[in-house]
Amino acid sequence: MKPLSDEKILISTSSFAVMDNEPLDMLKNAGCRVVDNPYKRRLTKPEIEELLATGITGIIAGLEPLDKEVLSKSNLKVISRCGSGLSNVDLDAAKDLGIRVCYTPDGPVSSVAELTIGAMLSLLRMIPLMDRELHDGRWSKKTGNLLEGKTVLIVGFGRIARRLKKLLEPFNVRILVADPFLKEKIEGISVIPLEEALPQADIISIHASGEGTIIEEKELGLIKPGGLLLNAARGTLVDEKALIKALREKRIAGAWLDVFEEEPYKGPLTKFDQVMLTPHVGSYTAECRKKMETEAVENLIEAFKKIKEGKR
C-alpha cells in the first residue's frame, strides 16, 4: 500500500503544477486522492469550509482564511502552505487541534525581489504608460527619473526584503529599513521608525508580514511629493481608500500593487494611469513555482509520514 493512500488532499492554490506536472505526480504517486480548487482563484471562507467538509485531511494551502472556525469544522491533519507567509492560518488553533503546519519560506524570495526591482524601474521611467500610449498610436515621450541616487525605504525586513536590498546595492541607492521587530543591526543600513523614515524616502517598498493596515492616510501624508509606493506583501497592509485619495490629490506620484484585499481585483485603482497593477504574480516564475510547489508537497508527505510513525 502506498504511504498516503488513505489521505484526501485539497490543492487550494489558484494554480498548481501549471509549468511542471512533477509536484502533482508526487502527490499521486504517494497514493493521495487529490481535489483541485474548482474556482481557480483565492477561496472565500464559505468555499473553503465547503471543500474541507468532503473528508479532506491535508491541504496544499494558498491564502484562503484558515481561522479557528474553519479549522475546527475540518478533519485536517496537515496544512502545507505553498508560499512564504502564514498570516492566513490560525497557528494557535492549529496547534490546539493537533494540525501540523509547514510552509515554503525561501521559494518566492528571488522571484518577488526581482519583480519589485522591475516595478521600481517601470514606475520611475513610466514604461507601462508609454507602452499603452504607443499601442494606441500615440508617440508620446515621457521624462522619467533614475533609480540611482534615490532613497529607498524597505518596510519589513524578512527574507524577500533582504534579497531586495542585495539587488538594490549596485544602483547606488540609500536604503532605509523600518521594522519594529528587527533586533539585529544591519551593516550600512539605517533602521528607523516608519514615521521618521517616510518623509525621507523617494520609494517605499512594503514587504511586511501580517494582515493589519500599516499605510493609512496619516502615513501617506508623510511621503514626500513625487514619492512612489510599492506593495508586494499583503493587500490589507495599504488602506486603498487613503491611497486613492493621495493619488487624486497628487500627494504621491504613483504606485505598484501586486496584492489586493479582494482578488481578483477590479476596483478603482484600475482607472489611474500612474498606478501599475499586477495580478498577484510575485512568485510566478517557472523556477519559483516548481521549487515552491515541490517543497510544499514534500513538506506535506513528510508530515503525514511522521503522523503515521507517531512522531512529533
| Residues classed as catalytic | 234, 263, 280
Sheet with 100-102: strands ordered across: 33-36, 8-11, 58-61, 78-81, 100-102
Cis peptide before 108 (omega within 30 of 0): no
What the block records as the C-alpha cell of 104 is 515554503
Cβ neighbours of residue 74 under 8 Å, at least 6 residues apart? 49, 52, 53, 56
Instruction: Give the separation between CA 154 and CA 41, rounded to whole angstroms.
Output: 29
Instruction: Give the separation between CA 251 and CA 132, rounded to whole angstroms.
Output: 24
With b for 16 or more beta-carbon neighbours within 10 A and e for fewer, the 199-213 pattern comes to ebbbbbbbbbbeeeb
Instruction: Give the separation between CA 174 and CA 176, rounded to whole angstroms.
Output: 7
CA distances from 229 to 102, 119, 249, 260 (A): 31, 10, 15, 14
Q: Residue for cell digits 512568485?
A: 283
